């Protein structure tokens, strides 16, 4: 009785439960289901403020309501609480915290293996789609190893070193109008058996994905346009990449899709730019979830590398008419949400370092 009185002082629940001799049913701790495929979608510069702004500019609806497994990652790099995209993507691609600007190398500037390289080693199919140049910091960190994100032509060489099955993005100049050497990487990739085409030859909707060859498709010579200026390829490119990889992957596939320009809207402190890029990216997420729900063997993960702009939905905002302020033209250090769905999605609940996203994907796909 004396003990019970003490427990009452702490809390009624504890005392009353001591009277009940039947323990509450335990959740079975079954091992997490293993996916066959992983699709990682990265909204560059996408934090909760961008998601919130896009939601209130879309009748209070967001694609992220479709996810049940939600977490947060700590985005800081090895040398700065405020990361940038190269260090952020290297954390996702290789599981190391590195210095700002590093692409596929650790803080000691040593190459670190990437998810695409590891998936290729396991005979999986791989791909990348971006609404920036394909040599931009985020896709670069999945396939190249250079000391600085500014080494665009060095990054392009990464596409010759790893037999990625499909890549779609801008930046063709870094392949066939090179300044640092005389090489023509479009010719070299073609000689290696790639089907290389571009916006000059055909619309993305006419891209032939029935080929047995690996595919490269360039969407621009330099950086692609913003959505608001007419760029419209990210959704069809993502759908084609998924269909192509699904078709050729008895061992599964890994695909990275980047909504690259949410970040650029943040740097420009342009709310319409941010929201229009968000709405396109959300449609890509929706199409990916639609595929995964049909397929049932695909783990979908969506996150950002960092927030950009210190974006805030301000007092005076109304539904579909928000007032926005920015605190900076650069990035911020706010924690970034992670959304997961499909086999193994539960592993992405909680709060963890950005490098844990690599660890969890590696574990899910049993990569070495």
Residues 260-279 that bind Zn ion (CB under 5 A): 263
The rounded radius of gyration (Å) of the Cα atoms in the chain is: 22
In this structure, are residues 38 and 142 in contact, taking their beta carbons and an 8 Å threshold? no
Report which of 41, 69, 67 is spatially closest to residue 255, judged by C-alpha positions. Answer: 41
Comparison of 234 and 347: residue with beta carbon closer to Zn ion: 234
**Least separation in angstroms between CB 267 and Zn ion:** 6
**Least separation in angstroms between CB 10 and Zn ion:** 49
Comparison of 104 and 266: residue with beta carbon closer to Zn ion: 266
Marked catalytic residue, from 85, 131, 238, 249: 85
Comparison of 47 and 344: residue with beta carbon closer to Zn ion: 47
Rounded distance between C-alpha atoms, residue 346 and residue 96, angstroms:
22
Q: Is 21 helix (H, G, I), strand (E, B) or coil?
A: coil
**Least separation in angstroms between CB 330 and Zn ion:** 7
Q: How many residues bind Zn ion (CB under 5 A)?
A: 1
**Least separation in angstroms between CB 29 and Zn ion:** 40
Report which of 136, 209, 213 is spatially closest to residue 170, judged by C-alpha positions. Answer: 136
Rounded distance between C-alpha atoms, residue 138 and residue 334, angstroms:
19
CB atoms within 10 A of CB 110: 11
Q: At 2, phi and psi to the nearest 5?
A: -60, -45
**Least separation in angstroms between CB 286 and Zn ion:** 25
Report which of 234, 248, 251, 252 is spatially closest to residue 288, judged by C-alpha positions. Answer: 234
Comparison of 58 and 328: residue with beta carbon closer to Zn ion: 328
In this structure, are residues 104 and 154 in contact, taking their beta carbons and an 8 Å threshold? no
For Zn ion, the nearest residue by Cβ is 263
Per DSSP, helices labelled H in 122-233 are 137-140, 152-161, 173-176, 185-191
Residues 244-263 that bind Zn ion (CB under 5 A): 263
What CA–CA distances, in Å, run from 168 to 194, 243, 357? 13, 14, 23
**Least separation in angstroms between CB 280 and Zn ion:** 17
Comparison of 94 and 260: residue with beta carbon closer to Zn ion: 260
148 is an active site residue: no
Partners of 197 in the beta sheet?
217
Rounded distance between C-alpha atoms, residue 246 and residue 155, angstroms:
27
Comparison of 120 and 263: residue with beta carbon closer to Zn ion: 263
Report which of 212, 204, 269, 283 is spatially closest to residue 43, judged by C-alpha positions. Answer: 283
Active-site annotation, residues: 85
Residues that bind Zn ion (CB under 5 A): 263
């Amino acid at each position: 009785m004396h003990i019970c009185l003490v427990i009452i002082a702490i809390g009624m629940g504890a005392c009353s439960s001591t009277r009940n001799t039947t323990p509450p049913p335990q959740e079975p701790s079954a091992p997490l289901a293993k996916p066959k495929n992983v699709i990682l979608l990265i909204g560059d510069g996408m934090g909760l403020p961008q998601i919130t702004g896009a939601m209130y500019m879309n009748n209070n609806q967001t694609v992220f309501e479709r996810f049940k497994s939600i977490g947060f990652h700590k985005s800081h790099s090895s040398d700065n609480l405020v990361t940038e995209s190269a260090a952020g993507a290297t954390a996702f691609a290789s599981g190391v915290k590195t210095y700002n600007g590093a692409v596929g190398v650790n803080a000691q500037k040593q190459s670190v293996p990437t998810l695409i390289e590891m998936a290729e080693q396991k005979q999986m199919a791989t791909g990348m789609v971006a609404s920036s140049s394909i040599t931009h910091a985020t896709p670069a960190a999945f396939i190249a190893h250079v000391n600085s994100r500014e080494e665009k032509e060095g990054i392009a060489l990464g596409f010759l070193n790893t037999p990625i099955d499909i890549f779609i993005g801008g930046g063709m100049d870094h392949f066939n109008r090179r300044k640092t050497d005389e090489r023509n990487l479009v010719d070299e990739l073609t000689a290696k058996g790639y089907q290389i085409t571009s916006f000059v030859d055909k619309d993305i909707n006419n891209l032939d994905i029935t080929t047995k060859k690996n595919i490269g498709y360039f969407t621009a010579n330099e950086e692609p346009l913003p959505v608001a200026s007419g760029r419209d390829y990210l959704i069809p490119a993502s759908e084609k990449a998924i269909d192509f990889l699904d078709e050729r992957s008895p061992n599964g596939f890994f695909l990275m899709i980047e909504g690259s320009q949410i970040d650029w809207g943040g740097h420009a402190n342009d709310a319409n730019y941010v929201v229009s890029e968000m709405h396109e990216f959300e449609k890509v997420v929706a199409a990916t979830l639609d595929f995964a729900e049909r397929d049932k063997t695909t783990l979908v993960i969506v996150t950002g590398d960092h927030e950009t702009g210190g974006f805030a939905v301000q007092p005076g905002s109304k539904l579909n008419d928000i007032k926005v302020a920015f605190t900076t033209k650069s990035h911020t250090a706010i924690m970034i949400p992670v959304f997961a769905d499909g086999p193994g999605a539960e592993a992405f609940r909680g709060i963890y370092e950005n490098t844990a996203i690599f660890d969890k994907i590696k574990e899910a796909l049993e990569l070495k």
